[in-house]
Structure 1
Amino acid sequence: MRLDDEAESENVEDRRGGGGLRVGGGIGIGTIVIALAASYFFGINPMTIINGAQVLQGNAPQHPTPTTARPVEDQGSQFVRRVLGNTERTWQHIFRTRFDQDYPAPKLVLFSDATPTACGTGQSAMGPFYCPPDRTVYIDLSFYRELRDRFGAGGDFAQAYVIAHEVGHHVQNVLGISGKYEAARARMSAARGNALSVRLELQADCFAGVWAAVAQQQNARLIEPGDFEQGLNAAGAIGDDRLQRQSQGRVVPDAFTHGTSEQRQRWLRRGMATGDIRQCDTFSAQSL
């Protein structure tokens, strides 16, 4: 991606130094990965696993305490600000032309380890996430290293896709889709709720593709050869089937919450190909 000419978003808060939280207890990366997998596949609060590991190590779970270091201005934060800034301008264009209204941009928080959110304490083990009540995307940039080294999905567009997917959840929230999803899921069994979650996540993938397509239309220099392929590779790398096979050696379809690798790539590609938000109705689709 060529982001040199992109204006940075003013809606990014960097808590990595001054406003984040740190959780004590000497937890290793292996526990974090297990906690992430449990949260991702089975809806288990990752803090349940992390706190349990602390007890086994003889360390009682500690309450998060504020950090004191100053926020860091680095290449990673600059990248995030520029990508988010582009999503703001792109979705503003889409909202004005499609809905004849302004786009209320989300906030994005950079953090390390843990941070307070309107959805509870956010943990790095959860991976990037969007919190509807405070309309904020949360991301620990160490996730990008995990995406590259563990899942083989490196590249700047792969990283931008992660942000665009979470912004896609914000678009769902603004359009009232998330509220309808939450109301419907509350009346469902776990298995049916997971199936509905898959449709929500695939739509966010499609919205990420719409962003990429429209952004390219607005700035032909933004997307470089191979960028879309990086995004598709990232979507395939974090499909439920692939992650389950890697983490537990078997696939449990009833536990899917985000969609298979093929499904995630299909809906991301659909958004990229059409640039049309109307083509992202995963909830009415007969086949995903």
Structure 2
Amino acid sequence: MQWKGRRESSNVEDRRGMSGKSMLGGGIGGIIIVLLVTLLGGNSGDLLNQITGTVTGTNAPYEATQEEQELKEFVSVVLADTEDVWSDIFKQRGMTYENPTLVIYSGSVQSACGTAGSSVGPFYCPGDRKLYIDLSFYDELKQKFKAPGDFAMAYVVAHEVGHHVQTLLGTSDKVMPQREKVSEAEYNKYSVRFELQADYYAGVWAKHDQGKGVLEEGDIEEALTAASAVGDDTLQKQAQGYAVPESFTHGTSEQRKRWFYKGYQNGTIEGGDTFHEAQL
């Protein structure tokens, strides 16, 4: 992806060196957020009513390496691209796109959805409409998930922005309440459709970015590799040797790749109604 020298978003909040701490009643909040704010967009809006206690932050000088600084600039450019693309798409629909904030942190962070450590991976919190990313996740993509390349990380950012789009379109408000109405297994099905739609929206962004002439050969393949690497079936097989489909919350590797690519092919919001697809 051609990104150097291009516009960086001003909606980036750098909290590296600041540790978010909270006292959670009975420790249940910490447990829940680890379970729900899962890799690449676990949704945690329903945690807002479960987290109690006081929050404090500790500051420490943070000296970024040259590689970290470059990565910060990169994700800032990607965020700026998503702002431009989604602003245009919303304008065409007679709507106004509200830019989210990207919070870069190290170690742990406090959000409106509670405190999370970098181990939960990148996530979006609808409570404050912010994306949260520990830049060390880029190393995990390359080494642990075998998904190298700058556009693999761009896909991660675009997926989280996809959740923000869902919030603005009202999709999140329709899905979240289902947790209290249906069984866990049934809600997991809603969650999979929700996550695949965010993958679709990431593909929509990629399509429009390609139209700007900034994508390079191999970029889409990098995104597809990343999408495949974080499929529920792949992650579960790596962790325990087998997959449990009824526990899936994000979709299989094949589904995640397919819905990202479908968004990339269509380039429109309308083609991503995962909730009315009989076959995902």
Measured against the shorter chain, the TM-score band is 0.7 to 0.9
Whole-angstrom distance in 2 between the partners of 1:38 and 1:244: 16
Query: How far did 1:147 drift?
Result: 1.1
The answer to whether the 8 A contact 2:21-2:110 is kept is: no
Query: How far did 1:143 drift?
Result: 1.0
Match of 1:274 in 2: 266
Match of 1:74 in 2: 69
Match of 1:131 in 2: 125
Query: How far did 1:182 drift?
Result: 0.6
Match of 1:4 in 2: 4
> What letter matches 2:99 in structure 1?
A
Deviation sequence 1:88-130 (CA, Å, 0-9, x none): 0111011111x21221000010001111110001211110000
Match of 1:160 in 2: 154
Listed as ranges, the gaps of 5+ residues in structure 2 are: 23-32, 45-54
The answer to whether the 8 A contact 1:14-1:109 is kept is: yes
Whole-angstrom distance in 2 between the partners of 1:108 and 1:138: 6
Match of 1:13 in 2: 13
Q: Please point out which of 186, 195, 202 is paired with 1:201.
A: 195
Aligned CA-pair RMSD: 2.2
- Change in Cα spacing, 1:38 to 1:115, as seen in structure 2 (3 Å) is closer
Q: Please point out which of 82, 86, 91 is paired with 1:91.
A: 86
Runs of 4+ in structure 1 over 6 Å off:
35-39
TM-score by length of 1: 0.83
Listed as ranges, the gaps of 5+ residues in structure 1 are: 24-34, 46-62
SS at match of 1:109: strand
Whole-angstrom distance in 2 between the partners of 1:37 and 1:227: 31
Query: How far did 1:22 drift?
Result: 7.2
> What letter matches 2:130 in structure 1?
T
TM-score by length of 2: 0.86
> What letter matches 2:203 in structure 1?
G
Percent of aligned pairs sharing the same letter: 49
Whole-angstrom distance in 2 between the partners of 1:234 and 1:70: 29
- Change in Cα spacing, 1:20 to 1:11, as seen in structure 2 (3 Å) is farther
Kindly tell me the number of residue pairs found equivalent between the two proteins: 254
SS at match of 1:74: helix
Farther-moved stretch of structure 1 (138-147 vs 157-166): 138-147
